Amino acid sequence: MKTLIKLANLKKVFSTDEVETHALSDINLEIKQGEYLSIAGPSGCGKSTLLSILGLLDTSSEGCYTLNGHDVVDINAKQRAAIRNKEIGFVFQSFNLISELTVAENVALPLTYRKDLSKTERTELVTAALEKVDMGHRTKHYPSQLSGGQQQRVAVARAIAGNPSIILADEPTGNLDSKNAELVMALLDKLHAEGATICMVTHDPRGAKRAERIIEIFDGRIVSDSPTSETHIEEAVA
Amino acid sequence: MNILSDINFAFRTLIKNPKFTALTIFVMTTGLTLCIYMFSFIHGSLVAPLPFENGERIRAVDTIYNGMQYQGTSFRVHDFEDIKKRVQSYEVFDAYDQGTVNLSTTDRAVKYTGHYVKESFFEISEAKPQLGRLLTNDDGLSGAEPVTLISHTLWQNMFAGDKDILGKKLRINTEPTTIVGVMPDSYQFPSAGRIWLPYTTTAKGIARKDGDYVAVYGVLKPGISDEQANAELRSLMAELEESYPKLNSNTSAHVWTLQSAAMGSGTPTIILAMELAVGFILLLACINVGNLLFSRAIEKGKETAIRTALGAPRSRLIMQMMWESTLICTISGVLAVLFAGLWLEVANKDLLSSFPFDPPFWWNIQITQSSIIAAIVITLVTALITGILPALKATSGDFNATLRDGTRGAQSKASGRLSKMIVISEVVLSCALLLLSTGMVYSVNQQNNIDYGTTIEDIFTARVGLPEAEYKSDEKRLQYYQNLKATLLAEPEISAVSLTRTIPGNGASYQNILLEGVDYGKKPQYPSSSSVGVDHNYFSVMTINLREGRLFDSRDKIGSPLTAVVTDKFVNKFFKDGVALGKRFKFIETDNDWYTVIGVVNDVIHGQPMSFNIEKPTAFISIQQTPKRFMSVVIKTVASDAQNVPNLAKIVADSIQKVERDAPAYDIKTLRNSIIGRNAGMNFVSELFLVFAAASMVLAFSGIYGVMSNTIIQKTQEIGIRRALGADNSDIYKYFIKQGLKQLVIGLAIGVPMGVALVTMLEESSIAQGSLMLYFSVPAFISFIILLAVYYPVSRALKMEPCEALRHE
């Protein structure tokens, strides 16, 4: 399989006047196209920081980051925005839907930042994405009119609408009850089965189990990187 | 106990947030200062009660001529006497005369404005002399000994407070006159008088067209309204117009308070504009402070939720928030009273020094008991307005949701709508206010820089009035003027001298005229023109350009056919074929003979440079043919700047005194200063509106910036989301600018027409002037504010990494 993401000797240091915190140290990681991996570790270990750097929402302090064969460390903010828009789909724990926009408008939002799509193409992509998450009947609703599970499904639709190279999910079931969490996880399974590359940070052992590879982080370092079948999930996500 | 604890809590909260407290107090103080200042100014000048028993029923009765309201000695004595016989609405309906009085003792002569009055004049003004007695109606009878009352100031200045002044004689207009009383310093009815003489003006034995003009006043009967009195007066004037169509064409009259009369006919419109401006400013201040309090209440949403969870009733929470606004408004109110007091003191000095006349006696422009009461009421109302809405809104959310997830979620959409409404309101109010204020300032600026059609800068002027008894004949007057010119020209500092009845910028006599060969029908509506008597060299001294024909010369003298030089407007208005030379006209009221137009010159503005004066046609007539007793001398100096010639005023005064001891010069000043003095009232109002414009700019900027900035800060997380989804910086800027533009467009769609309507309303009174430049630049300025208000907060938010913005609370 083709390597989609490659991190080499990546570091992230947060500095204040008096304190220097090493959030990530010597991170070396490869993600292949079509992989489904989860990142686990205790609170504050750096997994969300890693996901932010992977999603170009934050920059590393040192090291190399290659996405789809391109170096993305030394690119400007505009290029980073363009890559986020085309290559990456985000699913957040708190859904992060914009309350003033309808479901369809929320899903269309990343597509509106693309200059190469016509309105018709955008509508088609939105409809397809919403159908995929079984939310095609709620296009004109506002987020406040949906349940948490429905909101997260809309967020998933927004993440996949532009056919990104990878979906980055940060605790996607963290704000959901078990029934809705199961529905969202099933949705991610389905997307993976259809060929999507997914990288997920989760505390939910059952969710983590669904990935095919688990990376454990502790104190900013990768302490384990192995297929799910070889990992004691409960310990890894504790 | 609860109240004390709540006040204490509110006080501590304010101290803990010094920047917030300073900002809210600054904004509120600005609004309240302007409001209290305006209240005190209007109350102390226009609506201040007259300090007499029947003060509220005393009225001035003035004429309306060609739609324009006149005041003072504007009633022909014949009209007054006719009306007095039939009018029913008044307990007292009487007249007084007012005129320039030359007053001389053995060693000096001065000019004062004298009031020729009857007993009723003193009765209604509750006059009591400080020394001696008042004047009686018998003093005005033919053959009575000439007597006068003098003012306290005159007694002190001219007679050093001589206690034996009664019975001593003064030369008034060359006639020895006995002083029978001294009025107290406080007596200034109806204006700051210096000398009172018996009323002798009468219609008896005098042709109607030669009748003197008098000032009419009255005391309305109890229960009679101004509308009733006006209706009766209009009807009586209409009858006179029908009886005397030549003299009374387009003439009516109206009743108004002395205060309104003193301020002029345009004043109610100016006051209305001021009240609107101040109201808008106060509203802007309230919206700004209310919004700041609301934003803070939203920030403290969790604290409010905890209090609710602990059992605090909503009313208590509202009261706690109300105390905060009450404290802010109270502190602002106290500061506002202090600042308004200081400002009034400065304004009073400014007014007294720049106005060419003494202020009316009822003026009391300072912080009074009424101002304090008004300040308390306004402060309480603003505290209520700024406090209650934010408190109600902030305590009406879903507290359970707030406690559960610690987000603003439940209120964000509602507060977003409120923020948009606030921005729209700010745009509407600031746009209307800025258009109103700048329209006013622009108009006054235009007036100050207008071309009067003559030279202004290097001219010195003085007024002279010849004693009637000594200068009855035209020849004698002409001889005096020749001597005067020769004496002045003998001074080495003076290069040219001329004479005019009215200098540019001063109001000229505006009379009905009859154009030869025009049939005006049975109910004639005669046209009018200004009439200005000038010396033959006036046009060259004043640099007035001849367009065609000739100027006055030695052919235009006493006894020769009357001639006139008219302005372009005269030609354009009255001669459709554009040919004026050789045409004839006459002034209906004053002349039997025709004037022949011999020349055409450029337009010259007489009176304040307002549209109705600018549009007036003028006919210059030769003083060599019609020499009058009162004349203005215009002087050109050898030096280019008359203002800087040392002692010029004294040189002119002494020279004039040399020619005729009983004709002292007065109003000695440069023409520029004379014009500045005439425009002082409008300049004062313009300065006020400049303050309003500045205040509205500050409040609009701080308000719009505050709301937009707060809205964008609250949307930092949304910015993070959008950036995570691929929006680059320009996308974010575009999004927020588009949001801001929507509010801007709605605000301008309401504010611009509102502002234009206000300017148009004032344009009708020549008080404000709109222009495309203003109508473009004010919305452009507000658009600029909106852009700034979007740009800076968005820039700040964009400095964060997207992941940081996503975590922003």
pLDDT tens, position by position, B123-166: 888 888 999 999 988 998 888 899 999 999 889 988 888 889 99
Q: Which residues of A touch B715 (CB under 8 A)?
A: none
The whole-angstrom separation of Cα B704 and Cα B423 is: 6
Residue to mutate among B711, B716, B721, with most A CBs inside 10 A, is: B721
Q: Are B118 and B174 spatial neighbours (Cβ–Cβ below 8 Å)?
A: no
pLDDT over 60 at B419, yes or no: yes
**Looking at chain A, which residue has its C-alpha nearest residue B411?**
A99
Which residue's entry shows tokens 């999603």? A55
More confident residue, B356 or A222: A222
List of residues 6+ apart from B795 with CB closer than 8 A = none
Give the model's confidence band at B544: pLDDT under 50 very low, under 70 low, under 90 confident, else very high: very high
Mean pLDDT of A153-176: 91
Question: Is the Cβ of B416 closer than 8 Å to some Cβ of chain A?
Answer: yes
Contact B723 A58 (CB under 8 A): no
More confident residue, B47 or B627: B627
User: What DSSP string describes chain A?
Assistant: --EEEEEEEEEEEEE-SS-EEEEEEEEEEEEETT-EEEEE-STTSSHHHHHHHHTTSS--SEEEEEETTEE-SS--HHHHHHHHHHHEEEE-TT----TTS-HHHHHHHHHHT-TT--HHHHHHHHHHHHHHTT-GGGTT--GGGS-HHHHHHHHHHHHHTT--SEEEEESTTTTS-HHHHHHHHHHHHHHHHTT-EEEEE-S-HHHHHHSSEEEEEETTEEEEEEEGGGS-HHHHH-
- Which residue in the set A57, A77, A99 is minimally distant from B724, CB to CB? A57
pLDDT over 60 at B1, yes or no: no
The whole-angstrom separation of Cα A133 and Cα A139 is: 12
**pLDDT reported for residue A237:** 45
H or E element in which residue B108 lies: none
Residue to mutate among A56, A76, A125, A156, with most B CBs inside 10 A, is: A56
pLDDT over 90 at B280, yes or no: no
Residue B715, min C-alpha distance to chain A (Å): 10
The whole-angstrom separation of Cα A14 and Cα A12 is: 7
Domains of chain A: 34-58+77-237 (3.40.50.300)
CA distances for B281 relative to B277, B424, B437, angstroms: 6, 15, 11
Helix runs in B715-728, H state only: 716-724
User: What DSSP string describes B358-400?
Assistant: PPPTT---S--HHHHHHHHHHHHHHHHHHHHHHHHHHTSS-HH
For residues A17-52, one letter each, b for 16 or more C-beta atoms within 10 angstroms of the residue's C-beta and e for the rest, the string is: eeeeeebbbebebebeebbbbbbbbeeebbbbbbbb
Mean pLDDT of B539-555: 93
The whole-angstrom separation of Cα B181 and Cα A174 is: 100
**pLDDT reported for residue B383:** 87
The CB-side HSE value for B547 (13 A sphere, CA atoms) comes to 18
pLDDT over 90 at B569, yes or no: yes
Q: Are B115 and B132 spatial neighbours (Cβ–Cβ below 8 Å)?
A: no
Mean pLDDT of B170-197: 84
pLDDT over 90 at B688, yes or no: no
The whole-angstrom separation of Cα B31 and Cα B699 is: 9
pLDDT over 50 at B410, yes or no: no
The whole-angstrom separation of Cα A134 and Cα A149 is: 12
Question: Is the Cβ of A60 closer than 8 Å to some Cβ of chain B?
Answer: no
The whole-angstrom separation of Cα B779 and Cα B782 is: 5
Closest CA to A144 of A184, A90, A95, A91: A95
More confident residue, B769 or A156: A156
- Bridge partners, B115 (sequence order): B98, B196
Q: What is the pLDDT of residues A116-162, one digit of tens each?
A: 889 999 999 999 999 999 999 999 999 988 988 999 999 999 999 99
Range in B339-348, B409-418, B653-662 with the lowest mean pLDDT: B409-418
Give the model's confidence band at B340: pLDDT under 50 very low, under 70 low, under 90 confident, else very high: very high
Q: Considering chain B, what is the average pLDDT of its residues? A: 85
H or E element in which residue B294 lies: helix B267-299
The whole-angstrom separation of Cα A153 and Cα A187 is: 8
Separation of CA B157 from chain center: 32
Q: What is the CA radius of gyration of chain B?
A: 33
Separation of CA B145 from chain center: 43
**pLDDT reported for residue A233:** 52
Q: Are B226 and B392 spatial neighbours (Cβ–Cβ below 8 Å)?
A: no
Question: Is the Cβ of B801 closer than 8 Å to some Cβ of chain A?
Answer: yes
Which residue's entry shows tokens 């020094």? B353
Q: Which amino acid is at B350?
A: D
pLDDT over 60 at B353, yes or no: yes
Return the biggest CA–CA distance within chain A.
54
Mean pLDDT of B714-729: 90
pLDDT over 80 at B358, yes or no: no
* Cα dihedral B49/B52/B56/B60 (nearest 10): -100
Q: Are B541 and B634 spatial neighbours (Cβ–Cβ below 8 Å)?
A: yes
Q: How many beta-carbon pairs below 8 A join chains A and B?
A: 68
Q: For residue B103, with 0-12 CB atoms within 10 Å meaning exposed, 13-18 middle and 19 or more buried, which class applies? A: buried
- Whole-model pTM: value is 0.75
Question: Is the Cβ of B409 closer than 8 Å to some Cβ of chain A?
Answer: yes
Q: For residue A215, with 0-12 CB atoms within 10 Å meaning exposed, 13-18 middle and 19 or more buried, which class applies? A: buried
Mean pLDDT of A90-108: 90
Closest CA to B262 of B44, B87, B36: B44
| 3-state SS class at B566 | strand
Contact B731 A113 (CB under 8 A): yes
Question: Is the Cβ of B417 closer than 8 Å to some Cβ of chain A?
Answer: no
**Looking at chain B, which residue has its C-alpha nearest residue A84?**
B726
Question: Is the Cβ of A145 closer than 8 Å to some Cβ of chain B?
Answer: no
Contact A100 B806 (CB under 8 A): no
Question: Is the Cβ of A96 closer than 8 Å to some Cβ of chain B?
Answer: yes
* Cα angle B549-B555-B561, degrees, rounded to a multiple of 5: 85
**Looking at chain A, which residue has its C-alpha nearest residue B414?**
A100
Q: What is the pLDDT of residues B196-243, one digit of tens each?
A: 999 988 888 888 888 888 999 899 999 999 999 999 999 999 999 888
The whole-angstrom separation of Cα B758 and Cα B434 is: 11
CB atoms inside a 10 Å sphere around CB B225:
11
More confident residue, A230 or A176: A176
pLDDT over 80 at A16, yes or no: no
Measure the N-to-C terminal CA separation of chain A; round to a whole number of Å.
31
Orientation angle between helical segments B314-354 and B369-394, nearest 10 degrees:
140
Q: Is the peptide bond before B190 cis (omega within 30 degrees of 0)?
A: yes
Q: Which residues of A touch B721 (CB under 8 A)?
A: 96, 98
The whole-angstrom separation of Cα B383 and Cα B25 is: 12
CB atoms inside a 10 Å sphere around CB B540:
13
Q: For residue A128, with 0-12 CB atoms within 10 Å meaning exposed, 13-18 middle and 19 or more buried, which class applies? A: middle
Instruction: Classify the complex by whether its ipTM is higher than 0.95, answering yes or no.
Output: no
Residue A183, min C-alpha distance to chain B (Å): 23
User: What DSSP string describes B58-95?
Assistant: EEEEEEEETTEE--SS-EEHHHHHHHHHH--SEEEEEE
Give the model's confidence band at B492: pLDDT under 50 very low, under 70 low, under 90 confident, else very high: confident
- Bridge partners, A39 (sequence order): A201, A215
Q: What is the pLDDT of residues B62-75, one digit of tens each?
A: 888 877 778 788 88
The whole-angstrom separation of Cα A215 and Cα A39 is: 5
H or E element in which residue B196 lies: strand B195-198
**pLDDT reported for residue B108:** 66
Q: Are B641 and B457 spatial neighbours (Cβ–Cβ below 8 Å)?
A: yes
* Cα dihedral B368/B372/B378/B381 (nearest 10): -150
**pLDDT reported for residue A238:** 41
